[in-house]
Amino acid sequence: MARKPTSSSITIRDVARQAGVSVAKVSRYTNDTARVSEPVSKRIGEVLTRLRYRPHAAARQLATQNMMAIGLLLNNVYNDFFGPLLYGIEELVQQHGYNLLVATDQPERRKGSYPALGTHNVDGLLVFVDSLSISELRDFHSQHLPMVLIHRSSPEDLDIPSVTVENKAASYQIIEHLITQHGRRRIVFMQGKADQEDSCWREVGYREALEAHGIKFDPSLVMPGDFERDVAYLTMSDFLSRPDRKSFDAVFTGDDSAAIGVMEALEQSSLRIPQDISVVGFNDSQHSAVLSPPLTTIKAPTHEVGRIAAKHLFNLINNYPVDTITLLPTEIILRQSCGCTS
C-alpha cells in the first residue's frame, strides 16, 4: 500500500499543480506579498488544507526578509504587573502569526555586551522602561529597527512611539482623597527606581497635592521602594525601627507590589491598617482586592498598554503611521486600606 505523503514532503509545486495556478501565485498567497483574487485564494486555501501544506519557516523568512518574530525587552518579571502586559502583547502577536521573544536585561548588567534582542533575531522591538540605554536606542534607530517604548518617553531627537499611562493626575487625586476624606497629613511616598518616569510623575502628583492643601513637603517621608515587595518591606521595616523616625499616618507606595511589602512591615510593628496608617497603591494588580484589608489603589490599563504597544509595532513593521505618544487613562479604586468603609 502506497504511503500517504506527509506535509513536510509536499512542495509548493504540488500545491500549484493541484490548484491549477502558478507557483508564484501560491507564493504570493502564503507570504501575503501581493493581492490574490478571491476565487483563486479560495482554491489555493482548499488545496493547502487538503494537503496539509505548511510553508517552510526558513524559506518564508528568506522570501519576505522577515524573522516572523517581535521582541520584548523587560528589566525584570518579578511582580504581578507583567502578566497583563504580556497577555495584551500576545493577543496581537498571535493575530499576526508572529512569535514573541522575551528577554530580561538592563544596560548596567550587560557591561558593553550586545542586547539579547535586536536586528539579528526580531522584526521589531518593544522596550519596557530602562531595558535599553539611550545610546542603544540610538543604535537600533539608526539601523531602522521598528521600536515602541512602554512606560518610557522617546529621546526628543528620535521620535520613537511610546505607550504609557496617566500618572500625575491620579496620584494627585489619591493623595487629595487621603487628606480631605481621611484627615491624613503626614504621607509617606515610596519611589520606584531612580529616573523611572512613572515614579517621577507619581511623585509630582504627590507633591502638588500636598502643596495645594497647605502641607509642607518633608523629604524624610520620601523613601525607596523600587516598585518591589521585598525592597518596600525592608525600607519600611528599617524606617519603623529608627528611634528618631518622623511620625506618619499614610503611605502612598506608588505600586501594589510595594504596598504588600509595606503592609507586612506595618503589621509586624503592630500598626493597624487603616486605623493607624492608611496605605494606597498603584496598578490594581490581581491580588489587591483580596488583601486584608483590600487595597485602595489606582487602576492602570496594563493589558491595554501591551495590546496597543504591539499594535503600534506591527503598524511600524508594515509602514503604517503611528501616534508618537499614547497616554491611557487611569482611575482610583477605593477600598478599605485607605479608611473607606466600602
Is residue 60 predicted with pLDDT exceeding 90? no
Q: State the Cα–Cα distance between residues 100 and 174, nearest whole angstrom.
A: 36
Is residue 58 predicted with pLDDT exceeding 70? no
* Weakest-pLDDT range from 34-38, 42-46, 258-262, 304-308: 34-38
Q: State the Cα–Cα distance between residues 95 and 91, nearest whole angstrom.
A: 6
Q: Which amino acid is at 334?
A: L
Q: Using pLDDT thresholds of 50, 70 and 90, give the confidence band for residue 111.
A: low
Q: State the Cα–Cα distance between residues 26 and 36, nearest whole angstrom.
A: 9
Length of the chain: 342
* Weakest-pLDDT range from 51-60, 215-224, 252-261: 51-60
Is residue 50 predicted with pLDDT exceeding 90? no
Looking at per-residue confidence, does 262 or 30 come out higher?
262
What's the confidence (pLDDT) of residue 244?
87
Is residue 32 predicted with pLDDT exceeding 60? no
Angle at 286 between CA 70 and CA 71, to 5 degrees: 10
First to last CA, the chain: 74
* Weakest-pLDDT range from 69-73, 104-108, 218-222: 104-108
Q: Using pLDDT thresholds of 50, 70 and 90, give the confidence band for residue 25.
A: confident
Show the cell assigned to 276.
493607624
Asked if 80 contacts 290 with a C-beta cutoff of 8 angstroms, the reply is no
What is the average per-residue pLDDT within 238-249?
Answer: 94
Across the chain, mean pLDDT equals: 88
Is residue 56 predicted with pLDDT exceeding 60? no
Q: State the Cα–Cα distance between residues 236 and 229, nearest whole angstrom.
A: 11
Q: State the Cα–Cα distance between residues 50 and 46, nearest whole angstrom.
A: 6
What is the average per-residue pLDDT within 85-105?
Answer: 91
Is residue 3 predicted with pLDDT exceeding 50? no
Q: Using pLDDT thresholds of 50, 70 and 90, give the confidence band for residue 195.
A: confident
Asked if 44 contacts 29 with a C-beta cutoff of 8 angstroms, the reply is yes
The Cβ of residue 295 has, within 10 Å, a number of other Cβ atoms equal to 28
What's the confidence (pLDDT) of residue 22?
83
- Phi and psi at residue 55, to the nearest 5°: -60, 140
What's the confidence (pLDDT) of residue 9?
64
Map grid coordinates 523611572 to a residue: 196
The Cβ of residue 262 has, within 10 Å, a number of other Cβ atoms equal to 26
Residues 278-291 as b/e (b if ≥16 CB within 10 A, e otherwise) read: bbbbbbbbeebeeb
What's the confidence (pLDDT) of residue 156?
86
Per DSSP, the three-state class of 173 is helix
With a pLDDT cut of 70, the percent of the chain lying above it is: 90
**175: nearest Cα among 279, 262, 284, 264:** 279
Summarised one tens digit per residue, pLDDT across range 117-135 is: 888 889 999 999 988 989 8
Asked if 296 contacts 340 with a C-beta cutoff of 8 angstroms, the reply is yes
Q: Which residues pair with 69 in a beta bridge?
A: 99
Looking at per-residue confidence, does 258 or 11 come out higher?
258
Summarised one tens digit per residue, pLDDT across range 225-241 is: 999 999 999 999 999 99
Helices (H), the chain: 12-19, 23-31, 38-51, 57-64, 82-95, 107-110, 134-142, 168-182, 197-212, 229-241, 256-268, 302-317
The distance from CA 237 to its chain's CA centroid, rounded to whole angstroms, is: 29
Domains within the chain, CATH numbers bracketed: 69-165+302-328 (3.40.50.2300), 168-300+332-338 (3.40.50.2300)
What is the average per-residue pLDDT within 180-192?
Answer: 97
Q: Using pLDDT thresholds of 50, 70 and 90, give the confidence band for residue 112.
A: low
